[in-house]
Structure 1
């Protein structure tokens, strides 16, 4: 199948798969109890979606876990189709309108300025997950290699340069993570999480998430969720590993590849890393927004008030 090409969409690089239903997306009717899970691509989106689904429905609707793929339980808001073949045309907004669960869990990669206004008007809850720029770049590269509904990534060096310049779907990583971080200062129902923190201590981050959401778990429920969201368990679970999506060739690269913090070291050259660090210094200017690039690094203290 032909791969899509990027184009400038209101200042952000996008592909038609995520803009063809733009009117429906922007006119989407949010509800006060909606929960929007936001991230830049390849930043722990599936992990967070599954965690959220388990928190709300793992106990009350356990049959969902075995019979309904995660992408149907947590629909992708802006996607204009769920398959590249004409027989399966379904918009994310249509899937969301068909959901019978409450709250509705909604996935999106939209930058903050693109989120439909009804979510702000309805004071919906937002969960944002961010991942360090280098691991995101590597994961995004391999994802584009295996997903034929994404633009051709070319070689690693070319992709990395395009990534730094924001010439990939959803544009600049720097703008995305910074825009949502700034919104956290004025929108109290936004919980900003870090992939590296989730990896370091999933239980701790889940406790903080539950506190934010007003949820209470028993020790048994917590342990059950922690087991289910382990990377290796999700990787072999057909309901979470996207193996039901036919335009993803998992023989090229698994959808769930490694899930490691610091895997960027296996692909970045010394020169690429030095240039990337310099680029990051210039473009990620908010000193309160800091990332960890090594699994062994000590936790970075963050001013959560921004």
Structure 2
């Protein structure tokens, strides 16, 4: 295993970040940007969008279950990243393009993106495709993103926790500023069919939030199916499910021995990482940078 990993690390070098319109992206994505920006959305597409590590895989599995009436076998047909192409993922060394995967897919498609609102391919707005956005409080989000950088070989080295927190606050991480991302999508929901959900609400009452998803998708959900979905999408279940936990990906990309892709899945884990001063600073920044938006986050339940 170790020798295999040694060989793997030779073949995949951690990326550097380059800007597109002021937003940092892993260098590989830049090379595929033309195809991403010109992506052709379809009117019956559903796009799941989040800032990275905000509950993306969780909402993806929920949506797939809702769409398939809680059928466990259908939701085990392939790993989540194959069921819902990640449109801006571009790994030339592995000959992989999310755009090509999506283009090859029959309608109706469910797609995934982490793009900030201003960089979403214009065809999504033109086609009025439905979008589900999930936002997670900044403190838990940055902790999860830090551990993700540690295990994801396609991302830059995160450095120490202190260093990564500074980079995150400055918006110098892949996909840019968390503050701009959550606020941009929050404001977009007034002019586009967007269901905006909060990670903390999903944790507090998953059944209630899954109902919102079903209503948004015009799907009738019997109580028994709803309960089945709540059970199947519990963090503990998804963490051990190879169709959702990303263990099917090569260790040259995701090294689960460093940190699992699905790590804690809780609200409040930030308390194990933040100092009091860091916590107060983040609270102040949230007040300042989300001011006037009507957007607020819970950092504990």
TM range (shorter): over 0.9
What runs of 5+ residues in structure 2 fail to find an aligned partner? 1-8
What is the Cα deviation at residue 224 of structure 1? 1.4
What is the Cα deviation at residue 229 of structure 1? 0.4
Note if 1:261 corresponds to 2:271.
no
Between the aligned partners of 1:292 and 1:262, the Cα distance in structure 2 is: 9
One of 119, 131, 138 as aligned partner of 1:126: 131
Q: Any idea what SS the aligned residue of 1:7 has?
A: strand
RMSD: 1.4
Stretches (4+) displaced over 3 A: none
- 1:71 equivalent in structure 2: 81
What runs of 5+ residues in structure 1 fail to find an aligned partner? 296-306
Change (3 A) 1:244 1:228: same
Deviation digits for residues 242-272 of structure 1 (CA, Å, limit 9, x no counterpart): 0011211111111000000011001101111
Deviation digits for residues 27-78 of structure 1 (CA, Å, limit 9, x no counterpart): 1111111000010000010001111111113557x54433410000011010
What is the Cα deviation at residue 281 of structure 1? 2.4
Normalising by structure 1, what TM-score? Answer: 0.91
- 2:4 equivalent in structure 1: none
Deviation digits for residues 190-244 of structure 1 (CA, Å, limit 9, x no counterpart): 1100000000000001111211221101222112111110000000000100001
Query: Mapping of 1:35-74 within 5 angstroms?
Result: 35-57=46-68, 63-74=73-84
Deviation digits for residues 248-300 of structure 1 (CA, Å, limit 9, x no counterpart): 111111100000001100110111112222222222223510100001xxxxx
Contact 1:31 1:124 in 2 (8 A): yes
Bigger mean CA deviation after superposition, 49-58 or 34-43: 49-58
Change (3 A) 1:219 1:281: closer
- 1:240 equivalent in structure 2: 244
One of 139, 146, 157 as aligned partner of 2:151: 146
- 1:281 equivalent in structure 2: 287
Bigger mean CA deviation after superposition, 261-270 or 273-282: 273-282
What is the Cα deviation at residue 13 of structure 1? 1.4
Contact 1:58 1:65 in 2 (8 A): no
Normalising by structure 2, what TM-score? Answer: 0.92
Between the aligned partners of 1:284 and 1:151, the Cα distance in structure 2 is: 28
Between the aligned partners of 1:57 and 1:96, the Cα distance in structure 2 is: 19
- 2:195 equivalent in structure 1: 191
Contact 2:54 2:136 in 1 (8 A): yes
Equivalences, count: 288
Between the aligned partners of 2:29 and 2:203, the Cα distance in structure 1 is: 29
Contact 1:129 1:193 in 2 (8 A): yes
